[in-house]
Structure 1
């Protein structure tokens, strides 16, 4: 596995490209919190030349002669910035500018500037925005970060690399869609999943808790997470290495070269992650008489590795394109499968590996026609995977062989030596049209096609036919049209309509028989959102949406490992309503959101000791609220706390549940937390000890209240299986030299080694320690 590190070595050559251009000056403008500021006026006084920063706070002045100059930057609500600089020998200079906030009283009206992320957070959308720049020096993946947001809970099926379910206001699993720059993350392959995606690749994370805007253009049922990748038009090299417990290694290497005179851009994003996941778990192992004995052992056969190399090149700020970039990437994973979904049976030799080769093009033009902006993305992926389940050995939790079967694998009755091949194509067209000053239309058309086939000689011998050779096909289209109108500075409305289409052609194997199925689905959805600002610091948001979510390829066709196919699934539908309030000042931010969901045809992962399968089982009612408070008494310290309560009740009749009576009606759904929260205290000093370096220290904690593993109405309450309450605490410190040229961080997680559990009572890692080194040259 370590050999893949050699893929990254040539990328270090990018550093040499960052020096030796034609004479120019460029940089980015940020505020004191590191948030990029668009629309800032930047000038070179001696030349009487001016520029305005773009949407990522970037500015540039090409074609400068040698000499002494003064650069100024001004923006409403911030103090004016001045700096002298010198150009020698036509060498380029990079000056990143940090503006300090200033409060200006104009007729008793206070005017404050807002960053792009603040504007989005206070827009008509019910969205939480998290800037990730401050987390670059830490050992974080996306799933580690988003669970700090109010209303969001992340549950994994094991250690690093294990699958993750995200809950947003009662919606969970695949009901919540994940996007990378507006493209569904699942399109990129398993090696680029939310559970392993490094924060160093992204600029910010947007969590939509209510209506999902048509810009994202997919069939999310009641929540979505959009990750915005880094788009800085500067030369840089960003490299980091993290070493942690359980033989965990994380390597990130990102570099970019910009020719500002010709407006050319090229770069590479890459990472490599590995973990043995050999943390301690409490299990039962049979003694010499076959009686189960409680014991604590280290997990075995649970290594996980994933990697990515993405190269891109293109142009920006041209007459024909604001941005035109072509990309080629190679990603993959190697995964040891340790146990079944409920952690009841250990596996000793089952493995799955996957690799994906992908190509894409991205085009953006702000004025493709008068008052009309266009964005288009197109790409294709080719994925190959191998699932191996051939051993006759039966293992105990300590890794010992205790028996030999006469037939069958550890998971399947046939045994498997399966190779899978899939092709995935996607296209997204987005148009924004401003026919008048206070109104904007948005049209988004998203289309995808998925095709998969396999080959398994061992299973073919068992069944008498290679069922896996039969192809499966899934075609989806999501079209959305929205209109946003500002009736005044206080009242903004957003109205949307969506159409969803699906054609699925697949099969299931039941009782040794091949059962094909082909279905076509067409559904509409509508949404309405309102935002009203009562005064400068206080606003309210309300929204309603009738949403549809189409089953995806894993739910319909299975993963050929732990999940069996079910091509007969129906789409989920949900009535969603949200009401929220925000109070925002410089020092204090308070947010309260209430939510209501009535969901039918819920696609539920039904598990057993040997396999799992998605099924349409339930109708459920969700009611709840989440609240978050952020307080920054001083520039160097920030406190944050949030809490969520979600009451998820069954609304299915006994004919659906299969019960002899209606005792499950209005019962709380099992195996889902209903009360949880997070807290953080962060200290950050930008000019530490007068050295222009930065020191940070933080404490964070997460709490999950106890909940039942199975239905609360069944059995004796005192004897029921309960997931206990969990209070996990983490701490960390980091130190960075000026301009982040070098930084080091130390992070102990699960500080007091508390037992942690997630999906189906699967045990999570205990106390761990991570050290991260990072260098950033620009």
Structure 2
């Protein structure tokens, strides 16, 4: 009887999971046959939605046989409902919709919501950041991320300063940063989230903990995947220009062209940015030196912090042709110039130290569905990068925060100990040749069941040399090579009419390091050049899963767990002078057990009111955590640091987000709180919070829209934003004190944007840190005070 009941239960489960299902696909076009991109296609009875791609194509899988209402909506077309019947494995339905010529700004927010919810309920701990509003305002990409739940962007200055990212206690290389799935380090520091404007970005996916198969790599704490704009259903050209405080200037231009007959597609974008970054600082850590050797707290403007950047991206190829769903060749070129105001801490200002970066990158993207056999999809991304970095530091005098020389007791300007602002004088060059390849094969073995095999290959050949060194000294320059391979096998299941989504995976990590460091040794009384060769070849395995279950259409449970491994980066191993980071060839890989559990609820409609909420908790048990050293010495003697291994750390915490909409009012609140404790019984800091980590933050923003103000068919948007950061310690402390702790931070911003009736011109104004409060970031570096910005956006469509 027991065996009979067991068979009945198994049969019932199989009938649910493997019930007769089919796939619905097709193309949405306008009356002239042009593809409608970004249209929402919904099966009403199943509450299942997808969006059309750039070519108007859509696909919904695992549909139980039956009759449904198919609803099609778009910001550029009138809604359309169609009764359909799914009674075969593959149902194809092409449909035309009537284009509308008049749109208002409120409708624009509809586009992307379905894709956002699809990603956020896929089983992973992920938030999707929409950049549409930000692209019209004076916001940097890093500012947008810093307002996202669980994310802290750590910088050491204003516009263009080096940035580090913290996701719920994980930071540095534990966080993967991607551009369209390719690791951002491939592109160089001149093409990164500091200088890519939001107008070039479609959306940003922020994963905390487990990463999906297409981003598989050696990361512990999740990742940030920036999806660049791929064009829309019509040819377009968009330009913007802005100006603001501290002589901050920005401009960007982007456009898309596609030939409907041949499928030939051309996309281009470019950007320019500059800022003096000469904002005032009055931190307790900023000190001036008096002639008698005493130090006093200073107040002055940053005088060696200018930033300049420009770059562009060009893509050309074919989409939706017989031999490829997508074949695109791309080129990225970029340049940055960045003055360096101080070392790791801002105790002593520098003058004359700066860095330049040039990068030239070529890439190939290839996508083909039904590759060789039906149900097999091939996705290939390949990038080759030539990056050149130059750091100059030749000024030997010491300076105070007023920009003047430090004068000694004899009336003579004082010099630095090493002859440069940070150690010895240098004109250092770092050349990197980088290749990054990622290939993925996805095979649908049955409706709702897929197997995914991915492999990532990353190699860097690095050469360091210094022009100030003699020919003999240059014969002792260090050369370094690093190669990393990560393979992953994933099994994905969509069951119970797409209510249950699971992803189980296993990974194999391998890294090879070769470092040659010539040294001089005396052998038999003769100075002899000898090469110290460091070789290391290490491999690890990892595994995990992610799952989500929809209890109702607007209530989804999400969980994930992973044993993760992350290899050190070339900067952590070989050093990076631009980031004031010394080399540490002995650094070890980092391993971690990560757990996430949470839910997403909403939106709940209560008349004109809409509410949605999400909550998640997490645990991170980490061994050999890689972190930048935070010493217990006085911060005035710490211009540089290095990456080290902490024997063990444990992070526990939670994050929550609330969204409320009432007619034209939209309010969002989020908070994140965690503790990251050192776990080392032999350390005096055992069970203490790791310093230099903001562990409790709250963000809030509100937006209100006024229609038809001044002019008919116009729209005025008003914005308010605040950010709260709880005090955090900047160094290791056995005895707590207030000096080495940041103050409470509560920073408030306001802004407005005005959309003209022609829907082409938008003018926006932003006032940041309106109360001019102290704002601190990485290693207690002071951020800008009150600032004002004005921006113009203009769009041309349908040419």
**TM-score bin, normalised by smaller chain:** 0.7 to 0.9
- Within 5 A, what are the aligned runs for 1:253-402? 253-282=253-282, 283-368=286-371, 369-402=373-406
Q: Provide, for residues 152-200 of structure 1, a one-character-per-residue CA deviation record: whole Å limited to 9, x for no partner.
A: 1222111111111211111112211111111011110001122222111
Q: Provide, for residues 553-597 of structure 1, a one-character-per-residue CA deviation record: whole Å limited to 9, x for no partner.
A: 111111234211112111100000011011112511100000000
Q: Counterpart in 2 of 1:694?
A: 715
How many angstroms apart in 2 are the aligned matches of 1:757 and 1:432?
A: 46
SS at match of 2:210: coil
Judge which range, 206-215 or 502-511, deviates more.
502-511
Cα offset, 1:613, TM superposition: 1.0
When residues 275 and 255 of structure 1 are mapped into structure 2, their CA distance, relative to the original with a 3 A threshold, is same
When residues 542 and 583 of structure 1 are mapped into structure 2, their CA distance, relative to the original with a 3 A threshold, is same
How many angstroms apart in 2 are the aligned matches of 1:240 and 1:197?
A: 13
How many angstroms apart in 1 are the aligned matches of 2:104 and 2:713?
A: 14
Q: Counterpart in 1 of 2:493?
A: 485
SS at match of 1:317: strand
- Residue 628 (str. 1) matches residue 657 (str. 2): yes
Q: Counterpart in 2 of 1:120?
A: 119
How many angstroms apart in 1 are the aligned matches of 2:327 and 2:120?
A: 28
Q: Verify the 8 A CA contact 2:657 2:668 in the aligned structure 1.
A: yes
Q: 2:556 aligns with which of 531, 539, 559?
A: 539
SS at match of 1:643: strand
- Residue 618 (str. 1) matches residue 647 (str. 2): yes
SS at match of 1:162: coil
Q: Verify the 8 A CA contact 1:506 1:556 in the aligned structure 2.
A: no
Q: Counterpart in 2 of 1:566?
A: 584
How many angstroms apart in 2 are the aligned matches of 1:350 and 1:474?
A: 29
Q: Counterpart in 2 of 1:550?
A: 567
- Residue 74 (str. 1) matches residue 80 (str. 2): yes
How many angstroms apart in 1 are the aligned matches of 2:312 and 2:693?
A: 36
Cα offset, 1:408, TM superposition: 3.0
When residues 84 and 100 of structure 1 are mapped into structure 2, their CA distance, relative to the original with a 3 A threshold, is closer
Cα offset, 1:322, TM superposition: 1.3
Q: Verify the 8 A CA contact 2:716 2:755 in the aligned structure 1.
A: yes
Q: Provide, for residues 410-459 of structure 1, a one-character-per-residue CA deviation record: whole Å limited to 9, x for no partner.
A: 25544212222211111111222111012112221111110111332423
SS at match of 1:191: coil
Q: Provide, for residues 442-485 of structure 1, a one-character-per-residue CA deviation record: whole Å limited to 9, x for no partner.
A: 22111111011133242347xx5226733211111111111111
Cα offset, 1:687, TM superposition: 5.6
How many angstroms apart in 1 are the aligned matches of 2:751 and 2:338?
A: 29
SS at match of 2:577: coil
When residues 684 and 618 of structure 1 are mapped into structure 2, their CA distance, relative to the original with a 3 A threshold, is farther
Q: Verify the 8 A CA contact 1:219 1:548 in the aligned structure 2.
A: yes
Cα offset, 1:757, TM superposition: 0.5
How many angstroms apart in 2 are the aligned matches of 1:388 and 1:491?
A: 56
Cα offset, 1:521, TM superposition: 1.4
Judge which range, 565-574 or 678-687, deviates more.
678-687
Q: Verify the 8 A CA contact 2:181 2:214 in the aligned structure 1.
A: yes
How many angstroms apart in 1 are the aligned matches of 2:774 and 2:129?
A: 28
- Residue 665 (str. 1) matches residue 665 (str. 2): no
Q: Verify the 8 A CA contact 1:40 1:75 in the aligned structure 2.
A: no
When residues 652 and 53 of structure 1 are mapped into structure 2, their CA distance, relative to the original with a 3 A threshold, is closer
How many angstroms apart in 2 are the aligned matches of 1:182 and 1:71?
A: 31
Q: Counterpart in 1 of 2:453?
A: 443
- Within 5 A, what are the aligned runs for 1:684-763? 684-685=705-706, 691-712=712-733, 714-715=734-735, 717-718=736-737, 720-738=739-757, 740-763=759-782
SS at match of 1:473: strand
Q: Verify the 8 A CA contact 1:219 1:478 in the aligned structure 2.
A: yes
Q: Counterpart in 1 of 2:633?
A: none
How many angstroms apart in 1 are the aligned matches of 2:773 and 2:81?
A: 48
Q: Counterpart in 1 of 2:625?
A: 602
Q: Counterpart in 1 of 2:666?
A: 638
Q: Verify the 8 A CA contact 1:578 1:595 in the aligned structure 2.
A: yes
Cα offset, 1:701, TM superposition: 0.5
- Residue 495 (str. 1) matches residue 504 (str. 2): yes
When residues 305 and 514 of structure 1 are mapped into structure 2, their CA distance, relative to the original with a 3 A threshold, is farther
- Residue 651 (str. 1) matches residue 679 (str. 2): yes
Structure 2 residue runs of 5 or longer lacking an equivalent are 1-30, 44-49, 59-75, 84-94, 407-412, 522-529, 631-636
How many angstroms apart in 1 are the aligned matches of 2:34 and 2:754?
A: 26
Cα offset, 1:301, TM superposition: 1.0
Structure 1 length as normaliser, TM-score? 0.85
Q: Verify the 8 A CA contact 1:39 1:57 in the aligned structure 2.
A: no
How many angstroms apart in 2 are the aligned matches of 1:195 and 1:481?
A: 33
- Residue 416 (str. 1) matches residue 433 (str. 2): no
Cα offset, 1:268, TM superposition: 1.5
How many angstroms apart in 2 are the aligned matches of 1:132 and 1:686?
A: 22
Q: Counterpart in 1 of 2:239?
A: 239
When residues 154 and 312 of structure 1 are mapped into structure 2, their CA distance, relative to the original with a 3 A threshold, is same
How many angstroms apart in 1 are the aligned matches of 2:416 and 2:319?
A: 63
SS at match of 1:165: strand
How many angstroms apart in 2 are the aligned matches of 1:84 and 1:528?
A: 43
SS at match of 1:459: coil
Structure 2 length as normaliser, TM-score? 0.82
Q: Counterpart in 2 of 1:577?
A: 595
How many angstroms apart in 1 are the aligned matches of 2:386 and 2:476?
A: 18
Alignment size in residue pairs? 699
Cα offset, 1:54, TM superposition: 2.7
How many angstroms apart in 2 are the aligned matches of 1:300 and 1:28?
A: 51
Q: Verify the 8 A CA contact 1:683 1:698 in the aligned structure 2.
A: yes
Q: Verify the 8 A CA contact 1:73 1:81 in the aligned structure 2.
A: no
Quote the RMSD (CA, aligned, Å).
2.9
